[in-house]
Amino acid sequence: MPIKRVPMQKIFRERYKKLKIDKRVLILILVGWILSFFINLKIVLFASFFIISNAILLSIDRYIQMPVDIEFSTFAAILFTLAFSLKWGIFIGIATKVGAMMYNANVRADHFFMIGGYVMAAVIANLLRGMNVVTIGIITVLIVNTYIYLVSKYITNLYPFEILMYGGSNIIWNLILFSGFSSFLLKIMKI
């Protein structure tokens, strides 16, 4: 019985599958690697996470018409200020709200006052920098909500019930975020 000769290329083609790499993923990795020489990618990743999360969280307004203020902007502004710098805290406070406004296609006058509150949160966090992050968060949230209360009462003329619901829900939400997650997230952001 004669021995049949099989070319090595055919053996390799049948035995091993070709590695399939999506060119878009490869380009994304390459662009990220190049950007890492100029920008701290950790900041970009955390900023993207907070902007997207806040936009999705605030899309609840589309479906539920309740006076609640559950957002990640204050939390992100304070953490970014403490982890990176005041300019990054101000940036993320503005970017999270603008991202949510664009995602939800909803722009109201009170959103600009809220952006002022997030900038205020970053500045206050920078001033209180030496304290514990939970304490900074609680103090800052109370000051910012006092500002929002005054704006809501005297400028946007909300009803007292709405002011109480917005402020109360925001304070409770941020207390949960700061007491449960701020220390852990801040450690990760500073690594």
What global pTM score does this model have?
Answer: 0.81
- CA dist 6 and 69 (Å) reads 71
- Can you read off the two tokens belonging to residue 78? 């304070």
Contact 38, 62 (CB under 8 A): no
Question: For 159-171, what is each residue's pLDDT tens digit?
Answer: 999 999 999 999 9
Express each pLDDT in 33-73 by its tens digit: 887 788 788 898 999 999 999 999 988 877 777 888 899 99
- For helices 73-83 and 160-177, angle between their N-to-C axes, nearest 10 degrees: 40
Task: Quote the CA–CA distance of 90 and 60 in Å, as a whole number.
Answer: 24
Are 112 and 98 contacting, i.e. CB atoms less than 8 angstroms apart? no
Q: How confident is the model at residue 9 (pLDDT cuts 50, 70, 90)?
A: low
List pLDDT tens digits, range 100-130.
Answer: 999 888 888 889 999 999 999 999 999 999 9
Structure token digits, residue 108: 């109201």
Place of tokens 């406004």: 101
Helix ranges restricted to H, 16-155: 23-35, 41-58, 60-63, 73-83, 86-104, 109-127, 133-154
pLDDT (average), residues 4-33: 71
Handedness of CA 54, 118, 98, 69 (dihedral sign): positive
Task: Measure the CA–CA gap between 38 and 16, rounded to whole angstroms.
Answer: 39
